[in-house]
A and B are shown apart, each in its own frame.
Chain A
Amino acid sequence: MPAVVSKSGDQKSAEAEVENFADDLGPFVVAAETTRMAMVFAVACETDNPIIFANDAFLELTGYAREEVLGQIFNFFMAHVDDQAALALVREALEGQSETDVEINYRRKDGTKFWATLFVSPVRDDDGDIIQYFASFVDLTSYKDEQAQSQMLIAELNHRVKNTLATVQAIVSQAAKTNADPQAMRKAVESRLFALSRSHDLLTRENWRSAGLVDVLHDALEPFRGLDDQSGRVEINGENIRFSPKAALALGIAFNELATNATKYGAFSNEYGSIRIDWTVEPSPAGRRLVLVWTEKDGPVVAPPLQKGFGSHVLERGLAHELDGTVQLDYQTAGLVCTMNIPAPGPDHE
């Protein structure tokens, strides 16, 4: 970047002219000096339009000292001085022919780049000839950052939606495979869609950062408790350990399968049964493990199913796979016992 430019006679007289109208138009020049909008004046008649005035906001925006700016050509702090398209945009702005906002990538003294919208107003003499350009720059840095951020969020959202659609497809395909009766199929699909939806609600309340295990359980079991006060039928003992959104969704689906099974065959299928869910975090050579035990009692006498259903498949294979742990279903006569042994989530989600 050029240092202080040796000033031509014209440059000196142009700067002097600015000083003069500073005297004539006192308050307006003070306003231009002190406004937070970055501004410069450049000479219209000379080639390359040397700058003859720069306000404090402009110096702050670009990091230059005033004497480093005065006398420089108008385009001297463009980030890409050989970018013909950008040069054409500036030319159009100077000629007053821009139809849209002119966004130019500029470079600060320290080499960092920033985007700014360039606005140009011509300053005319008594004959109507343009003698100077009055240019202002709106820093687009925070706008561009927000734009990049929201584009990232949209891409992430799209990714999530597509994965969710694939999950819904898997739910429907599974339900169609195992239910000949359309009503039963509809019920199977709805139960899992609503479980997914409740987990989404929970995660939305938590800004999709994480969800606590106690909350995941409460939300998953809520539709199974019915209208009566059945709070005594579910006992939850454990810390509200926080899981990543993905793990929370998987756990929500898994607890929905367990509760569905309890409603059909287990502790929720009569009036007396109850379910206790306890968990602890235990150290192990492979890192901290969370061991959760779901114990049903006082339901009808339990016998192991002749053929394993989708629910047990989701738990023993799906959940174990997704959370990289083990899940065991033990069909004890007194009631089903499900034991999950999964890696305890790290502190990232707390």
Chain B
Amino acid sequence: MSDLLSGRRMLVVEDEMLLLLMIEGIMEDLGCQSVTSAATVKKAISLIETEFFDAAMLDMNLGGEDSSRVADVLSERGVPFIYSTGNDSRDMAEGARNHAVLYKPYRETDLIAALTQLLASRSN
């Protein structure tokens, strides 16, 4: 199933550095071609506007800032993405309902399953 992830260019928008390093490690182990990261809304948007990504994962809160603008730009560009958040489901942002959400902390297998499903639904 992780074949779907091999060779992919991934964007990780996450502001906790140790968590980012773990996610990058997981993605590299799965054979992703590249993993690019951003910790701020500004940097994430400038990356999406200048580079191509097969898929992305987006933390809903970046250093206290709501990341919904990043979600908008990802949607405009047609980049499929999943959310991650340290909030519980009750505080869910309105626009997040159509996307898979990983609640921190999440299992490595849940991350892989969510990404696989994201790319599988795209290729069908």
Q: Which residues of A contact B (CB under 8 A)?
A: 155, 158-163, 165-171, 173-174, 177, 244, 246, 250, 253, 310, 313-314, 317-319, 321-322, 324
- CB-defined interface of B31-63 with A at 8 Å, one 1/0 digit per residue? 000000101100100000000000000000101
Q: Are A158 and B87 in contact (CB under 8 A)?
A: yes
What residues on A are CB-neighbors of B17 within 8 Å? 250, 253, 314, 318-319, 321-322
Complex CA distance for A339 and B55, rounded to whole angstroms: 33
Q: Are A159 and B87 in contact (CB under 8 A)?
A: yes
Complex CA distance for A169 and B104, rounded to whole angstroms: 10
Give 22 CB contacts A-B under 8 Å. A155-B87, A162-B87, A162-B105, A163-B86, A163-B104, A166-B19, A166-B105, A167-B16, A167-B18, A168-B105, A169-B22, A170-B16, A173-B22, A174-B21, A174-B25, A253-B18, A314-B21, A318-B17, A318-B18, A318-B21, A321-B37, A322-B39
Q: Are A246 and B18 in contact (CB under 8 A)?
A: no
Complex CA distance for A99 and B22, rounded to whole angstroms: 54
Q: Which residues of B contact A (CB under 8 A)?
A: 15-22, 24-25, 37, 39-40, 43, 61, 63-64, 86-88, 91, 103-106, 108
What residues on A are CB-neighbors of B106 within 8 Å? 166
Complex CA distance for A57 and B100, rounded to whole angstroms: 54
Q: Are A177 and B25 in contact (CB under 8 A)?
A: yes
Nearest chain A residue, comparing its CB with the CB of B21 = A318
Query: How close is A189's CB to chain B, nearest CB, in angstroms?
Result: 12
What residues on B are CB-neighbors of A318 within 8 Å? 17-18, 20-21
Nearest chain A residue, comparing its CB with the CB of B23 = A170
Known: A162-B104, A177-B25. A170 touches B18 (CB 8 A): yes
Closest 8 CB pairs of A and B: A318-B17, A162-B86, A170-B22, A166-B104, A322-B17, A170-B18, A166-B105, A163-B86
Complex CA distance for A163 and B24, rounded to whole angstroms: 17
Complex CA distance for A136 and B104, rounded to whole angstroms: 48
Q: Which of B21, B22, B39, B88 contacts A158 (CB 8 A)?
A: B88
Q: Which of B19, B25, B39 contacts A167 (CB 8 A)?
A: B19
What residues on B are CB-neighbors of A324 within 8 Å? 39-40, 43
Query: How close is B117's CB to chain A, nearest CB, in angstroms?
Result: 21
Nearest chain A residue, comparing its CB with the CB of B43 = A324
Complex CA distance for A250 and B20, rounded to whole angstroms: 12
What residues on A are CB-neighbors of B91 within 8 Å? 155
Nearest chain A residue, comparing its CB with the CB of B38 = A321
Query: How close is A224's CB to chain B, nearest CB, in angstroms?
Result: 20
Most buried by A among B24, B63, B103, B105: B105
Complex CA distance for A149 and B22, rounded to whole angstroms: 34
Nearest chain B residue, comparing its CB with the CB of A172 = B22
What residues on B are CB-neighbors of A168 within 8 Å? 105
Question: Could you list 11 further interchain pairs (A-B, Cβ under 8 angstroms) beyond the known A162-B104, A319-B17?
Answer: A155-B87, A158-B88, A162-B86, A166-B86, A169-B22, A169-B105, A170-B16, A174-B22, A246-B63, A314-B17, A318-B17
Query: How close is A269's CB to chain B, nearest CB, in angstroms?
Result: 25
What residues on A are CB-neighbors of B18 within 8 Å? 167, 170-171, 174, 253, 314, 318
Query: How close is B53's CB to chain A, nearest CB, in angstroms?
Result: 17
Known: A173-B22, A313-B21. A166 touches B61 (CB 8 A): no
Most buried by A among B37, B43, B63, B86: B86
